[in-house]
Amino acid sequence: MKKIGFLGCGKIGQALLKHIKEKRYGQVVFIEDPFADLPGEPVVRSPREELYGETELVIECCTADVLKEHIELILKHGDLLMFSVTAFSDETFEKKARELCGKYGRKIYIPHGAILGTDGIFDGKPVWESVEITTTKSPKSLGRTDTERTVVYEGPAREACRLYPRNVNVHAAIALAGIGFDRTKSRIVSDPAVSTNAHEIRLKGSGIDIAMHIESYAAGAVTGAYTPWSACGSLDRICGEDSGTRFV
């Protein structure tokens, strides 16, 4: 049984909160969210260090900026499962997060989130010669008003993350697992005809060519239908004490 805290509790957070209760994974010590309306839950509107002190695992599902502000407070007291992976495109944050993990002996869990296969991308890290990802979302999801299909960005993943921090967490996860933010090529397409979030991933290396297409209903939201399921699976792999077969 873990003592768990939430930083942000919207679509992903609430799916995980329900899952923690169903699976009896632990006690939710606090939910820090200035706006969440969750009657009966231990919601706090601003950080309280004594609550972080009681917590072994913080689940972040708010924004990269908020995560950056909280990183030392979180890792000083426990491990972190983070969904706002674009935070890692900021080199200062990446350095600080890695140093804090070393200093306090903590782990940061990076979920596969909206895509699949980050474990396999990581396994092939030494062999990738090129890694490309194209994300197609509705203009609403991207915070735009395009009336026709528009390529809104093409270039290194690092800049994609800076421009669209809430929309390209999968680009950040792929960059981290693979060849980094400067060599991973990102493309972002705004298409008013779609109601899904779609990701086309292409990895090439010596004798290897992998293509993945992942599409998930989103209806204008930043988070598609698959992500809450994927988030619960990631939590199972962190907290679950299962027996029998296991996907590794």
Ligand X SMILES: NC(=O)c1ccc[n+]([C@@H]2O[C@H](COP(=O)([O-])OP(=O)(O)OC[C@H]3O[C@@H](n4cnc5c(N)ncnc54)[C@H](O)[C@@H]3O)[C@@H](O)[C@H]2O)c1
DSSP 13: H
The helix-helix angle for 64-77 and 91-104 (nearest 10°) equals 10
Residue 226 token pair? 């698959």
Stretch that binds ligand X, among 92-100, 128-136, 140-148, 220-228 (CB under 6 A): 220-228
- Of 166, 183, 187, 204, the one binding ligand X by CB under 6 A: 166
Q: Does 36 bind ligand X (CB under 6 A)?
A: yes
Helix and strand numbers (H, E) in the chain are 9, 11
For residue 1 the two structure tokens come to: 């049984």
Closer to ligand X at the Cβ: 89 or 169?
169
- In the shown chain, the binding pattern of residues 74 to 103 toward ligand X, with x for contact by CB under 6 A and - for none, equals ---------xxx------------------
Looking up tokens 């972080």, which residue turns up? Answer: 52
Q: Which of 5, 13, 139, 156 binds ligand X (CB under 6 A)?
A: 13
DSSP 86: G
Q: Does the annotation count 199 as an active-site position?
A: yes
What residues pair up with 4 in beta bridges, in sequence order? 28, 57
Q: Which of 17, 80, 81, 114 contacts ligand X by CB under 6 A?
A: 114
Taking the complex as a whole, the smallest distance from the CB of residue 207 to ligand X amounts, in Å, to 29
- Nearest partner of 110 among 140, 78, 142, 88, judged by Cα: 88
59 lies in the site for ligand X, by CB under 6 A: no
Instruction: Choose which of 134, 136, 169, 186 interacts with ligand X (CB under 6 A).
Output: 169
- Chain centroid to CA 242: how far? 24
- Closer of 8 and 124 to ligand X (Cβ): 8
Which of 10/26 has CB closer to ligand X?
10
The tokens for 158 are 């690092």
> How distant, in Å, are the alpha carbons of 10, 17, 84, 110, 237 from that of 68?
18, 22, 10, 15, 25
Among 7, 176, 201, 214, binds ligand X (CB under 6 A): 7
157 binds ligand X (CB under 6 A): no
Distance CA 9, CA 38 (A): 9
Give the binding site for ligand X (CB under 6 A): 7-13, 32-36, 61-63, 66, 83-85, 111, 113-114, 166, 169-170, 173, 222-223, 227
As annotated, the active-site residues are 199
